[in-house]
Amino acid sequence: MTSAQALAAGLIAAPALTAGVVGLAPPRLARRTALIGSAPTGAIAAAFVAFALHDLDHPRVGTWLVADPAGGLLVAVISVVGLVSVLVSPAYLDSSQGSVVRVERRERTYFAALYAFWTVLLAVPLAGNVGAAWLLIEATTAASALLVGFSGKGRALEAAWKYLVLTSLGLGVALLGIVLLSAGVPRSGVGALSWQALATFSSGHDMALVAYLLLLVGLAAKIGWAPVHNWLPDAHSEAPAPVSALLSAALLPAVLLVAWRSQLALAPVVGLRTTQTVLIGFGLASLVVAVPFFWRPMAWKRLLAYSSLEHMGVLALGIGFATPLAIAGIVVHLAAHAVAKALGFYAATPLLAHDPRAAGHAVTGIGRTEPRLGAAVGLSLGTLAGLPPFPLFVSEVLVLAGGFQAGRPWAAAIATLLLALGFLGLAHTLIELTVGKRRGGRAVEIAGLRGVTFLTAASAVALLALAAIGPWLSRTDFVDALLRGLP
Amino acid sequence: MSGMLAWVLVALGLLVVTGRRRSVAVGVVTVQALILVGAALNSAATEADVVAAVALAVRGVGLAAVVLWLVARTRENRLVRAGIAPLVRAGLAVGLALLLTWLVPHIGLDSRTDERAVLALVAFGLVAVATRRATLFQILGIVLVENGLALAALSLPRASSLAIELGVAFDLALVVLVAAVFHDRIFAEFGSGDSASLRSLRD
């Protein structure tokens, strides 16, 4: 067994074992077991990331396993968000009631499903072929749908149902695309689906284009790209807050990586410009759909959900532009979005304890009633809005500059306009949310507020560091390696 | 697969789109799965092919058992009517199938008949999910799409990966099981497995 295989096996086995142990543990030990189990997963993930980023010029590529810089970046994001989601979950469980299972099984089921979801998520960036990637993405649906509907409330059941049905159908369409690809590659078995083999597709350009479109439309349903995004706002707003963070900051980018790998693999057959244009189309459509919602008063988690739609659109644009500037923008965007969005969702638990109306309505003046909470939501929303000097401002500038650099001035100009409109809408919400007129809010002991305060400080440091490195990133070997893709 | 069997699968698929009774629709998708199993065993050249066929059989029969148990557990007081008449649903399904056949060029499967049958089953599954209000019929729509994809896998000119085929069967079973849990909870919460009651989340 090679080092890459051993690390990958450990990376998947650690959370999977924890899921099993938590599922079988006595109810009173479930929480403690889950919290302890996050440490080995985090440690192995750190080792894998170091390994994947160590030798940028020689990624380990096999039929089943890939350990490359893009995978390393995604594993870093997924492991950090997963780890913090596990750690903040007790605050969610303590502050909420009811679940889709019996009360004595509540914590056990929650943590077992959370770990199962985390396990599959960590495996997605490692998939060495499009078939395995599909299987893992489909598996995330089963694990995460249980978590989306976990509260058992009518709205959560509705959100989980929509998520399950729409993403399963979408992935069915993607699987049809994979079958078409498999029929056109002159190899048999799993080797026909490896990322490198897709470039040998020999059933003609039209067939390759159809297969690519089916695959991408199917994946778009899971990424939440418009116009196949309908499940996204509901699932993100109704899921438990730590799960929402994983859905938005880890699941969507992980599936996006599979779309990116597919685009790079099929570009020689379909045509580089065509594959990129499709992605740019999804990116612009997502911005067009998301931006009007930023001009409406909206419940906090629902606002964050529409923000995910916008940011997945920006990432699609970056992949589509595919210049060093745009790719540097993607790296910063992916990491900063994960930090800011996860912080926003983690802050939702104390926010709901502070002002229960926040579950269904826009709330205002949080900075006046609870300054620490105001700082958390302010930092999160300020970053997500693209406020300078935060890193999403830097990354959006890089992606847009990459668009002009790529000879796509119209797409870049339209995206600039849409992002500016989105910024104005969110900036207004930011002011209202933090220092607006005070309405409601209870002076009570808020569960999880201390943890969120610590996360706010840590996130501020991480975000400023990302903003600082962003402008220099485009000239690094790391971005070169991402541009090259898999050998 | 013979052309006749492929068209039998398509005809059965149309029954899921138009039929009224949930138990009949469950039987229909199960018969489809068993026809696919028979075809897979008939053309099996290696041990891996036989294993894949057995997995398909276990999946088909297992899902039928789960969904029929669910039907018995969640008896509706009155029929959950689809918002669209059966003939219109059939028209939409056939129309989408024809559109897909027209749009998608030669796929590269063993025969053009198999290709048309695959596209028709995928189209019928999509229409079933989009037009049926009963949550159980929406689950069956997903199964219908997957049956179409199983037919495609059977008609590939070269051997596909056993691991991937087993994985697809396992994943589908998992998704249907989770959907079954939610159907049960939706029935308990709203008193009916009618997706029309799931309309509180709107912007």
Contact state of B157 with A183 under an 8 Å Cβ cutoff: yes
> B161 with A193: CB under 8 angstroms?
yes
* Residue B25 to residue A274: CA distance in whole angstroms: 41
Whether A234 has its CB under 8 Å from any CB of chain B: the answer is yes
Nearest chain B Cα to A205, which residue? B105
Contact state of B200 with A175 under an 8 Å Cβ cutoff: no
Domain assignment of residue A480, yes or no: yes
Which residue, among A8, A15, A224, has the nearest Cα to A137 in the 3D structure? A224
Contact state of B105 with A146 under an 8 Å Cβ cutoff: no
**Mean predicted confidence (pLDDT) in B140-160:** 89
Give me the residue label for tokens 């030669």: B106
* Residue B52 to residue B39: CA distance in whole angstroms: 12
Confidence band (pLDDT; 50, 70, 90) for B36? very high
Terminal C-alpha separation, chain A = 21
Please give the pLDDT value at position A226. Answer: 93
Given a cut of 90, is residue B167 above it in pLDDT?
no
Is the bond preceding residue B157 a cis peptide, omega within 30 degrees? no
Given a cut of 80, is residue B77 above it in pLDDT?
no
Terminal C-alpha separation, chain B = 47
Please give the pLDDT value at position A63. Answer: 87
3-state secondary structure chain A: CCHHHHHHHHHHHHHHHHHHHHHHCCHHHHHHHHHHHHHHHHHHHHHHHHHHHHCCCCCEECCCEEECHHHHHHHHHHHHHHHHHHHHHHHHHHHCCCCCCCHHHHHHHHHHHHHHHHHHHHHHHHECEHHHHHHHHHHHHHHHHHHHCCCCCHHHHHHHHHHHHHHHHHHHHHHHHHHHHHHHCCCCHHHHHECCHHHHCCCCHHHHHHHHHHHHHHHHHHHCCCCCCCHHHHHHHHCCHHHHHHHHHHHHHHHHHHHHHHHHHHHHHHCHHHHHHHHHHHHHHHHHHHHHHHHCCCCHHHHHHHHHHHHHHHHHHHHHHCCHHHHHHHHHHHHHHHHHHHHHHHHHHHHHHHCHHHHCCCCCCHHHHCHHHHHHHHHHHHHHHCCCCCHHHHHHHHHHHHHHHCCCHHHHHHHHHHHHHHHHHHHHHHHHHHHCCCCCCCCCCCCCHHHHHHHHHHHHHHHHHHHHHHHHHHHCHHHHHHHHCCC
* Boundaries of domain holding A355: 271-487
Is the bond preceding residue A297 a cis peptide, omega within 30 degrees? no
Contact state of A176 with B161 under an 8 Å Cβ cutoff: no
Nearest chain B Cα to A297, which residue? B203
Domain assignment of residue A169, yes or no: no
Give me the residue label for tokens 């490359």: A68
What is the number of other CB atoms lying within 10 angstroms of the CB of residue A443?
Answer: 8
Domain assignment of residue A353, yes or no: yes
Domain assignment of residue B21, yes or no: yes
Give me the residue label for tokens 């070997």: A477
Nearest chain B Cα to A147, which residue? B178
Nearest chain B Cα to A162, which residue? B198
Please give the pLDDT value at position A3. Answer: 82
Measured between beta carbons, the chain A residues lying within 8 angstroms of B148 are 176
Q: From first to last of the 487 residues of chain A, give the pLDDT tens digit.
A: 788 889 999 999 999 999 999 999 998 899 999 999 999 999 999 999 999 998 888 888 888 999 999 999 999 999 999 999 999 999 999 988 878 888 888 999 999 999 999 999 999 999 999 999 999 999 999 999 999 999 999 899 999 999 999 999 999 999 999 988 988 888 877 888 999 999 999 888 988 999 999 999 999 999 999 999 999 999 999 999 999 999 999 999 999 999 999 999 999 999 999 999 999 999 999 999 999 999 999 999 999 999 999 999 999 999 999 999 999 999 999 999 999 999 999 999 999 888 888 888 888 888 888 899 999 999 999 999 999 999 999 999 999 999 999 999 999 999 999 999 999 999 999 999 988 887 665 656 677 788 999 999 999 999 999 999 999 999 999 999 999 888 7
Best of A65, A141, A180 to substitute, by most chain B Cβ atoms within 10 angstroms, is: A180
Please give the pLDDT value at position A44. Answer: 96
Domain assignment of residue B69, yes or no: yes
With a CB-CB cutoff of 8 Å, which residues 86-105 of chain A face chain B?
100
Torsion angle, CA of B152/B154/B160/B165, rounded to 10 degrees? Answer: 80
Domain assignment of residue B202, yes or no: no
Q: Which one of B174, B175, B186 has the shortest CB-CB distance to A157?
A: B186
Q: Token digits for A287?
A: 């911005």
Residues contacting residue A400 through CB under 8 Å, at least 6 positions apart: A412, A415, A416, A419
> A178 with A134: CB under 8 angstroms?
yes
Domain assignment of residue A352, yes or no: yes
Whether B4 has its CB under 8 Å from any CB of chain A: the answer is no
Contact state of A161 with B175 under an 8 Å Cβ cutoff: no
Domain assignment of residue B86, yes or no: yes
Q: Which one of A135, A149, A206 has the shortest CB-CB distance to B168?
A: A135
Residues contacting residue B99 through CB under 8 Å, at least 6 positions apart: B123
* Residue A475 to residue A123: CA distance in whole angstroms: 29
Domain assignment of residue A309, yes or no: yes
If one counts the domains in chain A, the total is 1
- Our CA-based measurement puts residue B6 at a distance from the nearest CA of chain A, in whole angstroms, of 17
Domain assignment of residue A187, yes or no: no
Q: Which one of A154, A179, A204 has the shortest CB-CB distance to B149?
A: A179
* H/E stretch holding B203: none
Contact state of A135 with B145 under an 8 Å Cβ cutoff: no
Please give the pLDDT value at position A277. Answer: 97
Residues contacting residue A42 through CB under 8 Å, at least 6 positions apart: A79, A83
Label residue A444 exposed, middle or buried (CB < 10 Å: 0-12, 13-18, 19+).
exposed
* Residue A196 to residue A270: CA distance in whole angstroms: 14
Contact state of B182 with A159 under an 8 Å Cβ cutoff: no
* Residue A312 to residue A42: CA distance in whole angstroms: 26
Please give the pLDDT value at position A52. Answer: 93
Domain assignment of residue A326, yes or no: yes
Domain assignment of residue B111, yes or no: yes
Whether A189 has its CB under 8 Å from any CB of chain B: the answer is yes
If one counts the domains in chain B, the total is 1
Label residue A338 exposed, middle or buried (CB < 10 Å: 0-12, 13-18, 19+).
buried
Whether A152 has its CB under 8 Å from any CB of chain B: the answer is yes
* Residue A159 to residue A247: CA distance in whole angstroms: 13
Domain assignment of residue A378, yes or no: yes
Provide the ipTM: 0.93
With a CB-CB cutoff of 8 Å, which residues 112-151 of chain A face chain B?
131-132, 135, 138-139, 141-142, 145-146, 149
> A309 with A439: CB under 8 angstroms?
no
Q: How many residues does chain B have?
A: 203
Q: How much is the CA Rg of chain B, to the nearest whole Å?
A: 17
* Boundaries of domain holding B13: 3-191
* H/E stretch holding B76: none
* H/E stretch holding B119: helix B112-131
Domain assignment of residue B200, yes or no: no
Whether B160 has its CB under 8 Å from any CB of chain A: the answer is yes
Whether A187 has its CB under 8 Å from any CB of chain B: the answer is yes
Q: Would you call B134 helix, strand, or coil by DSSP?
A: strand
Which residue, among A178, A179, A180, A174, has the nearest Cα to A217 in the 3D structure? A174
Q: How many residues does chain A have?
A: 487
